A and B are shown apart, each in its own frame.
Chain A
Amino acid sequence: MNNLINFLIKYAGAFLFLALQVFCISLIISYNKHQQIRFFSATNEMAGGLQSWVSSVGSYFELKNANEQLKRENAALRELLTTSYLDSTRSFNPFLDDEFLSQFEFAEASVVHATVNKKQNYFILNKGSTNGLVRDMGVISSHGVVGIITEVSANYSTVMPLVHTGINLSTAIRKNGYFGLLSWDGKSPDELILDDIPGHVELEKGDTLVSQGVGRIFPKGSVVGTVENWMLLPESGFYQIRVQPAVDFRKLRDVYVVRNLLIDQIEDLKTKEGEGD
Chain B
Amino acid sequence: MKVIKVLIINALRFVPLILLQVLVLNNINFTGYLNPMLYILILLSLPLETSRSLMMVFGLITGLMIDIFTRTPGLHMGACVLLGFLRPSVLQSLAPRDGYEFGMKANINDFGLPRYAAYTGVLVLFHHFYLFYAEAFTFSGFFDTLLKAVLSSIFTFMLIMSFQLFISKRKANRI
Taking Cβ atoms with an 8 Å cutoff, the residues of A that contact B are 12-13, 16-17, 20-21, 23-32, 34-35, 38-39, 42
Least Cβ distance of B138 to chain A in Å? 5
Classify chain B: how many residues form its interface, as a range. 10 to 19
How many A-B Cβ pairs are below 8 Å?
A: 61
B90 to chain A, nearest CB (A): 14
When distances are taken between beta carbons in the complex, the residues of chain A under 8 Å from B53 are 12-13, 16
Q: Are A28 and B138 in contact (CB under 8 A)?
A: no
The reply on B102 being an interface residue by CB < 8 A is: no
A-B contact pairs, 24 of them (CB 8 A): A12-B53, A13-B56, A13-B85, A17-B56, A17-B81, A20-B77, A20-B78, A21-B78, A21-B81, A24-B63, A24-B74, A24-B75, A24-B77, A24-B81, A25-B74, A25-B134, A26-B74, A27-B73, A28-B134, A32-B72, A32-B73, A34-B137, A38-B138, A39-B137
Q: CA of A21 to CA of B135 in the docked complex: distance in angstroms?
A: 15
Seen from chain B, the residues whose Cβ lies within 8 Å of a Cβ on chain A are 51-53, 56, 60, 63, 72-75, 77-78, 81-82, 85, 134-135, 137-138
A32 CA / B73 CA spacing, docked (Å): 7
Residue of A nearest to B82 (CB): A21
Q: Are B137 and A20 in contact (CB under 8 A)?
A: no
Nearest neighbor of B55 in chain A, beta-carbon distance = A13
Where chain A touches its partner, the secondary structure class is helix
Q: B137 touches which one: A26, A28, A30 (CB < 8 A)?
A: A28
A56–B102 Cα distance when bound, in Å, is: 67
Give the residues in chain B near A13, CB-CB below 8 Å.
Answer: 51-53, 56, 85
Q: Does the CB pair A31–B73 fall under 8 Å?
A: yes
Contact B81 A31 (CB under 8 A): no
Contact among A23, A26, A31, A35 with B134 in the assembled complex (CB-CB below 8 Å): A35
- Is the Cβ of A28 less than 8 Å from the Cβ of B81? no
Question: 20 additional contacts, CB 8 Å, given A17-B82, A20-B78?
Answer: A13-B51, A13-B85, A16-B52, A21-B82, A24-B63, A24-B75, A24-B78, A24-B81, A25-B78, A27-B74, A27-B78, A28-B72, A30-B73, A31-B73, A31-B74, A32-B72, A32-B74, A38-B137, A38-B138, A42-B138
Please name the residue on chain B nearest to A26 by beta carbon.
Answer: B74
Interfacial chain B residues near A31, Cβ < 8 Å: 73-74
Contact of B75 among A20, A32, A39 (CB under 8 A): A32
A20, A29, A39 — most chain B CB neighbours (10 Å): A20
A249 to B50, CA, bound (A): 64
Chain B residues with CB under 8 Å of A26's CB are: 74
In the assembled complex, the CB of A112 is this many whole angstroms from the nearest CB of chain B, namely 23
Asked whether A16 lies within 8 Å of B72 as measured between CB atoms, the reply is no
B2 CB, min distance to chain A CBs, angstroms: 25
A35: chain B residues at CB < 8 Å are 134-135, 137
A residues less than 8 Å from B137 (CB atoms):
28, 34-35, 38-39
Q: Could you tell me the distance between the alpha carbons of A16 and B84 in the complex, rounded to whole angstroms? A: 11
Q: How far is the CB of A191 from chain B (nearest CB, A)?
A: 45
A32 vs B135: C-alpha distance in the bound complex, in angstroms? 9
Query: In whole angstroms, what is the CA distance A31 to B78 when docked?
Result: 14
A contact residues around B85 at 8 Å (CB): 13, 17
Residues of B within 8 A of A17 (CB): 52, 56, 81-82, 85
Tell me how far the C-beta of A165 lies from the nearest C-beta in chain B, rounded to whole angstroms.
35
A251 to B52, CA, bound (A): 58
| Complex Cα spacing A30 to B137, Å | 13
Q: How far, in angstroms, from A42 to B137 measured CA to CA in the complex?
A: 10
Q: Do the beta carbons of A28 and B75 come within 8 Å of each other? A: yes
Asked whether B73 lies within 8 Å of A20 as measured between CB atoms, the reply is no
C-alpha gap A21/B81 in the complex (Å): 7
List the A residue with the shortest CB-CB distance to B77.
Answer: A24
CB distance from A200 to the nearest CB of B (A): 62
